[in-house]
Amino acid sequence: MSPKLKWIKSSYSSDDGPSCVEVATVPDQILVRDSKNPTGPRLALAPAAWASFLPYASEH
């Protein structure tokens, strides 16, 4: 059985709105999902790809 994932929302997201992405980590992957659809598809990124994406996201 796989362990339950701990999904984290950005500190910039409000608690009363569902419009944000959530992130969870597993060995060798960063998972990203839409908080409006928690059982929907997920993106699975390598840690290096996630690290490259973060500076872009913080600028835009």
Average pLDDT over all residues of the chain? 88
> From CA 58, how far away is CA 60, in angstroms rounded?
6
CA-wise closest residue to 40 among 28, 25, 26, 22? 22
The 10s digit of each residue's pLDDT in 42-59 is: 999 999 999 999 999 888
- For the chain, give every domain's residue range: 21-59
3-state helix, strand, coil in the chain (%, to 5): 20, 30, 50
pLDDT recorded at residue 59: 87
Six token digits for residue 8:
């984290």
pLDDT recorded at residue 1: 47
pLDDT recorded at residue 7: 95
pLDDT recorded at residue 2: 58
